[in-house]
């Protein structure tokens, strides 16, 4: 990937803000970036976790000979591995994401966000992966410490298109199948499904033990519905047109949207899934800040 | 004051207003497409279609609708009807009644006239209050028997005193007269009653003029037919034909009468010939196919004076056409005085005399004199003087010849060897003869077939003047005569004419004796000479009878020089004759012209009815009502003048202003639409 393509996503101004945020997070956590992510797995590491009885097949190099000398029994030492975690971004690229009312399109906003998150996570020496989807998986970049450029390239060649219907259930189910190793999963979407359907789609990931972070990207027009003139409103995913007089329907739409967002917030909270909503007119680092804040809180709890 | 439309059917174009309304309801939706991420929430919101089809941009819509309305109104040709120009409201107010009573002679059949009087009286009795009425008696002419009056007694008296005349039926003059009376009436209701036997002949004669009639709008037309088909059988003496011939200086005339019949008439009718009041012969006529002819024994006329004769049949339903009067003059021939030049021999006038001795229609009476023996009295009995190679006489005889011409007589000069003679301003000097014999002669190259002398030769195979060879002629100067009627092959004038006074002078530049040309040997010579002499004499065929209703100029039927001071009608009335005042022939029978200074001198002529009126077949009065209804619908009366709706609309020309206003609105609509459309394109749907 050319440096120009990288620059497109890694805006120096954005990165500067993120660097500051990184410094802030370090000072809060008191460690380095790689110390922010505590691995959920036990493995080879300097931090001892526990002893267990030797089982045939275990590596004899891991036998604690000192303990054998005291107890005359074979024990294997296990350590809490401070290993590189998997961080996978699931990016919704359905046609509804290509809407741009005020400022960036949701798709651009989403991939900028994905790029920044990926870069930030990679700076923490974690392994990064990417999956784009509409109503099925479109592109999948497995998590790896070396896949940053591939991810950025994949994000770069996403093209918005009409008629690309979105659905969470099937692609997220497939993601759950592929992401066998527990890690952190960031879902970026506009979630045009019922909150219950969203939750049903996300549950398989949750069941795999992934830490989920949900970024709900919306355009401000979708929230405020500022339209005045009547017209044929066209669904970007299905192409269906509907005559709409905003003067008549505006209030009811805003109410419906507000109820939808409230319900989403509620179900995510109940399922202990980090959920943050961003409109495309907000600075991008707001989302990153929210993410790091959430991570900080989780680390503190853990 | 009310608004009317000349072409109200165009108002259907107002339906076009629906087009911009539909556009404003529908195009708004197709033009403003708003892409939106998902209609998930919008679909869940219940709403009504009507609310979505609300009209936007009302000013533009109103502008467009107003433009359409104005243009549609312009095409409908609106105009304002003012109260002064409106027609009377039918069924309300006082009535102006015009009663037309047919008094043509066909109304004398049976009890038609009594029925007509009764119908007219009934119509008059129907007047009430402030109603006014007028009685018009009509035949070929229309005559108002009364002024427009509310006095019904006057109207009844006018009808009672009237009686059928002897003229034919014409409807147009009476209807036009009635239309003028009704149009001038201030009363709100107009009614026209036509009482007639509705003869087909009169209606057909008026066919071309019915469409020009105008009656005030709202006029009620009531035709009342009084004809009775059971009395329609009628035999008419339609005319008479003569064949004259001279027998031992007495003229003998074969008389053939023509009869026509209509209806259930007898097969045979006795026809009597009455001469000078005495029935001299009665013959049966077989009516076959509605017509018959009957020939009488030849009638020898008296040497002088005229003979009154009448063909008469027995009385039938219509009496006036049962007699046909005519007058037979004693000598109808054209008198021609041939004056030979000095040294003439018998051959000089041989061809002229022989040619003029032939023919009966008319015959010619010739008299030959040598110029040296010519007397002034010789001119009295002759209409034409032919100077056959003789100079115009000098002295008193010459003056008499000039007077003869100036008073209407004819002078024909056949030049030959002799010069025309002296008549300054009339006869130019003519040089010596041109001899073409060396070259084999020449033809007559041109004749003016538009002139009465040669008009009978205009058709094909009617005579070839080119066959004649001319060897010598005297060259008439070009411009010496106003009109050249014929030219020789070299272009020289052959026959020239100059009108003089009431008469005319014609000059033939060669001879008519066979010496200078062979025209006398050609077939065209005889008819040419007859036509030449008739034209020079100013001959018009004598009329043996006139038709009633004619107005004649007495001077045209009397012999030149005769004067009469009064006319005695068949009924015995005396009508003084005045110069330039025509004599109206109002009675059937024999008129007689007399002179108070010469009681023994008289001239008779006969007057008959028009036989066309004898055809009693009638037409449906509804034809007249329909025709007049069309005239009424196309008419509107205003201030005594008759204006059609189109005329009134044309006067106001309001459509012109509507068209201008409509186009101004369309221009404004274009500007406004462009401005608002551009604003719409630049301004996305969401309100920021």
The pLDDT tens digits for B249-263 are 778 889 999 998 877
User: B33 vs A222: CB contact, 8 Å cut-off?
Assistant: no
Q: Which of residues 156-195 of A touch B (CB under 8 A)?
A: 190, 192
What is the pLDDT, as a whole number, of residue B687?
A: 41
CA A285 to each of CA A10, A115, B378: distance values in angstroms, whole numbers, following the listed order = 12, 12, 149
- Give the pLDDT band (50/70/90) at residue B644: low
Which residues from chain A sit within 8 angstroms of residue B28, using beta carbons? 230-231
Strand A231-235 relative to strand B33-36, pairing: parallel
φ/ψ region of B321 (left if φ > 0, alpha if ψ in -120 to 50, else beta) reads alpha
B508: which 2 tokens? 């033939």
Distance (Å, whole) CA B340 – CA B486? 23
- ipTM score of complex: 0.74
Q: What is the pLDDT of residue B52?
A: 52
Q: Is the pLDDT of residue B637 over 60?
A: no
Cα distances from B337 to residues A191, B214, B333, B340, B370, in angstroms, run: 136, 59, 13, 10, 10
**Which of A15-19, A32-36, B501-505 is least confident?**
A32-36
Q: Alpha-carbon dihedral of residues B81, B83, B86, B89, nearest 10 degrees?
A: 130
**Interface subset of A 191-250, CB within 8 angstroms of B:** 192, 219, 221-222, 226-238, 240-245, 248-249
User: Is the pLDDT assigned to residue B141 strictly greater than 70?
Assistant: yes
Per-residue pLDDT, averaged over B38-43, amounts to: 84
Residue of chain B whose alpha carbon sits nearest to that of A259: B41
Residue B185 confidence class, pLDDT cut points 50, 70, 90: confident
In sequence order, which residues have a C-beta less than 8 Å from that of residue A44 and are 6 or more positions away? A79, A81
Supply the mean pLDDT for chain B.
Answer: 83
- Pairwise CA distance, residues A131 & A92, whole Å: 9
Q: What is the mean pLDDT of residues B464-492?
A: 89
pLDDT at B484 over 90: yes
**What is the arithmetic mean of pLDDT over B598-617?**
83
- Minimum distance, in Å, between the CA of residue B686 and any CA atom of chain A: 4
Beta carbons of A253 and B45 less than 8 Å apart: yes
Distance CA B529, CA B366 (A): 13
Q: Quote the pLDDT of residue B534.
A: 93
Q: Which of A235, A257, A258, A262 to mutate to test the interface with B (most CBs of B within 10 A)?
A: A235
Q: How confident is the model at residue A20 (pLDDT cuts 50, 70, 90)?
A: very low
pTM value > 0.90? no
Any residues with CB less than 8 A from the CB of A128 and at least 6 apart, and which?
Answer: A87, A88, A89, A118, A121, A122, A143, A144, A145, A147, A148, A151
Q: How far apart are CA B309 and CA B174, in angstroms?
A: 35
- For residues A215-244, one letter each, b for 16 or more C-beta atoms within 10 angstroms of the residue's C-beta and e for the rest, the string is bbbbbbbbbbbbbebbbbbbbbbeeebbbb
Query: What distance in Å separates residue A11's CA from the closest CA in chain B?
Result: 27
Closest partner residue to B38 among A101, A231, A237, by Cβ?
A237
A245 chain-B contacts, CB cut-off 8 A: 47, 51-52, 54
Quickly tell me which residue has 């329907």 as its tokens.
A249
Q: Quote the strand ranges of B545-663, DSSP E.
A: 545-547, 551-552, 566-568, 574-576, 583-584, 589-595, 598-608, 636-638, 641-643
The answer to whether residue B688 scores a pLDDT higher than 60 is no
Kindly determine whether residue B37 and residue A96, on different chains, have CB atoms separated by under 8 Å.
yes
Q: Tens digits of per-residue pLDDT, B283-300?
A: 999 888 778 889 999 888
pLDDT interval class at B677 (50, 70, 90) = low
Condensed to tens digits (0 to 9), the pLDDT of residues B343-379 reads: 888 888 999 999 998 887 788 889 998 888 888 888 8
Higher pLDDT, B509 or B306: B509
Instruction: Inform me whether the pLDDT recorded for B685 exceeds 60.
Output: no
Q: What percent of chain B has pLDDT over 90?
A: 24
Interchain CB distance below 8 Å, B685 and A190: no
Comparing A210 with B505, the larger pLDDT belongs to: B505
Residue A49 has a pLDDT of 66
B377 preceded by a cis bond (ω within 30 of 0): no
| Confidence label for B421 from pLDDT (cuts 50, 70 and 90) | confident
| Minimal C-alpha gap between A165 and chain B (Å) | 10
Mean pLDDT taken over chain A: 77
Torsion of CA A196, A199, A201, A207, to 10 degrees: -140
Contact A248 B686 (CB under 8 A): no
User: What is the C-alpha to C-alpha distance for residues A275 and A213, in angstroms, rounded to an integer?
Assistant: 6
Reading the block at residue A218, the tokens are: 């919306």
Share of chain B above pLDDT 70, in %: 90
Given this model, what pLDDT does residue B672 score?
85
Is there a contact between B51 and A99 if contact means CB atoms under 8 Å apart? no
Report, as an integer, the average pLDDT of B604-610. 89
Inter-chain residue contact B28 with A221, CB threshold 8 Å: no
Q: Which of A243, A247, A253 to mutate to test the interface with B (most CBs of B within 10 A)?
A: A243
Q: φ, ψ for residue A293 (rounded to 5)?
A: -65, -45
Lowest mean pLDDT among A251-265, B383-397, B568-582, B669-683: B669-683
B171: burial class by Cβ within 10 Å (0-12, 13-18, 19+)? buried
Mutate to test the interface with B, among A92, A242, A262 (most CBs of B within 10 A): A242
CA distance B665 to chain A (A): 26
Least confident of A10-19, B27-36, B423-432, B670-679: A10-19
* Range with lowest mean pLDDT among B82-96, B389-403, B528-542, B652-666: B82-96
User: Residue A77: helix, strand or coil by DSSP?
Assistant: strand
């Amino acid at each position: 990937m050319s440096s120009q393509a990288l620059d497109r996503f890694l805006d120096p101004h954005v990165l500067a803000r993120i660097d500051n945020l990184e410094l802030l997070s370090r000072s809060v956590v008191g460690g380095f970036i790689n110390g922010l992510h505590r691995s959920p797995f036990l493995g080879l590491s300097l931090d001892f976790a526990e002893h267990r009885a030797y089982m045939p097949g275990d590596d004899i190099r891991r036998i604690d000979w000192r303990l054998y000398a005291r107890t005359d029994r074979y024990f294997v030492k296990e350590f809490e591995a401070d290993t590189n975690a998997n961080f996978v971004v699931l990016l919704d690229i359905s046609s509804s994401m290509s809407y741009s009312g005020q400022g960036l399109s949701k798709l651009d906003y989403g991939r900028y966000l994905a790029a920044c998150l990926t870069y930030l996570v990679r700076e923490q020496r974690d392994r990064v992966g990417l999956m784009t989807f509409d109503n099925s998986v479109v592109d999948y970049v497995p998590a790896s410490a070396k896949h940053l450029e591939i991810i950025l390239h994949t994000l770069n060649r996403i093209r918005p298109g009409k008629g690309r219907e979105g659905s969470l259930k099937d692609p997220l189910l497939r993601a759950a199948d592929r992401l066998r190793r527990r890690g952190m999963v960031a879902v970026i979407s506009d979630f045009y499904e019922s909150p219950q359907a969203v939750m049903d789609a996300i549950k398989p990931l949750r069941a795999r033990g992934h830490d989920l972070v949900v970024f709900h990207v919306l355009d401000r027009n979708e929230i405020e519905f500022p339209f005045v003139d009547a017209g044929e409103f066209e669904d970007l995913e299905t192409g269906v047109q509907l005559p709409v007089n905003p003067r008549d329907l505006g209030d009811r739409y805003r109410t419906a949207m507000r109820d939808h967002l409230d319900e989403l917030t509620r179900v995510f909270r109940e399922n202990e899934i980090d959920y943050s909503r961003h409109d495309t007119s907000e600075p991008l680092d707001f989302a990153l800040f929210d993410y790091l804040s959430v991570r900080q809180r989780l680390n503190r709890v853990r | 004051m009310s608004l009317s439309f000349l072409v109200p059917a165009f108002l259907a174009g107002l339906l076009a207003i629906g087009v911009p309304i539909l556009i404003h309801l529908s195009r708004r939706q197709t033009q403003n497409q708003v892409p939106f991420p998902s209609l998930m929430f919008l679909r869940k919101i219940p709403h009504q279609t009507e609310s979505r089809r609300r009209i936007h941009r009302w000013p533009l819509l109103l502008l467009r609708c107003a433009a359409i309305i104005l243009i549609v109104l312009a095409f409908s040709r609106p105009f304002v009807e003012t109260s002064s120009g409106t027609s009377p409201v039918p069924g309300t107010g006082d009535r102006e009644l015009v009663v037309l009573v047919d008094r043509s002679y066909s109304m004398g059949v049976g009890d038609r006239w009594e029925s007509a009087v009764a119908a007219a009286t009934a119509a008059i009795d129907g007047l009430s209050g402030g109603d006014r009425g007028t009685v018009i008696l009509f035949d070929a002419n229309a005559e108002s028997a009364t002024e427009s009056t509310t006095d019904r007694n006057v109207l009844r008296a006018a009808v009672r005193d009237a009686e059928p005349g002897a003229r034919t039926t014409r409807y147009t003059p009476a209807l036009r007269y009635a239309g003028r009376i009704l149009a001038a009436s201030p009363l709100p209701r107009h009614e026209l009653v036509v009482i007639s036997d509705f003869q087909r002949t009169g209606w057909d004669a008026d066919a071309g003029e019915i469409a020009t009639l105008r009656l005030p709008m709202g006029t009620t037309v009531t035709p009342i037919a009084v004809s009775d088909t059971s009395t329609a059988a009628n035999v008419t003496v339609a005319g008479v034909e003569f064949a004259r011939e001279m027998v031992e200086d007495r003229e003998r005339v074969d008389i053939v009468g023509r009869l026509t019949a209509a209806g259930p008439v007898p097969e045979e009718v006795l026809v009597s010939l009455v001469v000078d009041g005495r029935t001299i012969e009665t013959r049966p006529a077989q009516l076959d196919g509605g017509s018959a002819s009957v020939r009488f024994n030849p009638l020898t006329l008296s040497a002088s004076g005229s003979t009154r004769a009448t063909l008469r049949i027995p009385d039938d339903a219509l009496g006036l056409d049962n007699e046909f009067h005519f007058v037979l003059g004693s000598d109808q021939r054209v008198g021609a005085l041939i004056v030979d030049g000095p040294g003439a021999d018998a051959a000089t006038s041989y061809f002229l005399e022989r040619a003029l001795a032939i023919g009966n229609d008319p015959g010619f009476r010739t008299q030959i004199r040598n110029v040296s023996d010519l007397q002034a009295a010789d001119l009295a009995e002759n209409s034409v003087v032919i100077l056959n190679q003789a100079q115009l006489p000098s002295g008193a005889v010459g003056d008499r010849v000039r007077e003869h011409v100036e008073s209407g007589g004819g002078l024909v000069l056949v030049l030959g060897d002799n010069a025309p003679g002296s008549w300054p301003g009339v006869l130019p000097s003519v040089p010596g003869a041109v001899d073409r014999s060396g070259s084999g002669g020449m033809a007559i190259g041109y004749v003016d077939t538009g002139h009465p002398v040669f008009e009978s030769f205009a058709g094909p195979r009617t005579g070839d003047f080119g066959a004649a060879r001319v060897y010598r002629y005297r060259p008439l100067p070009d411009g010496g005569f106003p009109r050249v009627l014929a030219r020789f092959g070299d272009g020289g004038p052959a026959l020239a004419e100059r009108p003089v006074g009431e008469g005319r002078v014609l000059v033939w530049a060669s001879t008519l004796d066979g010496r200078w040309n062979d025209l006398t040997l050609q077939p065209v010579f005889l008819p040419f000479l007859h036509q030449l002499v008739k034209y020079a004499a100013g001959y018009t065929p004598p009329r043996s009878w006139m038709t009633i209703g004619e107005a004649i100029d007495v001077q045209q039927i009397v012999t030149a020089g005769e004067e009469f001071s009064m006319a005695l009608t068949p009924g015995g009335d005396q009508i003084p004759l005045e110069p330039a005042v025509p004599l109206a022939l109002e009675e059937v029978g024999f008129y007689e012209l007399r002179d108070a200074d010469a009681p023994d001198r008289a001239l008779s002529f006969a007057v008959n009815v028009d036989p066309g009126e004898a055809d009693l077949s009638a037409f449906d009065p509804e034809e007249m009502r329909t025709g007049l209804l069309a005239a009424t619908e196309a008419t509107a009366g205003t201030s005594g003048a008759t204006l059609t709706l189109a005329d009134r609309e044309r006067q106001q020309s309001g459509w012109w202003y509507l068209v201008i206003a409509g186009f101004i609105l369309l221009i404004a609509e274009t500007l406004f639409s462009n401005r608002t459309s551009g604003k719409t394109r630049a301004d996305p749907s969401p309100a920021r």
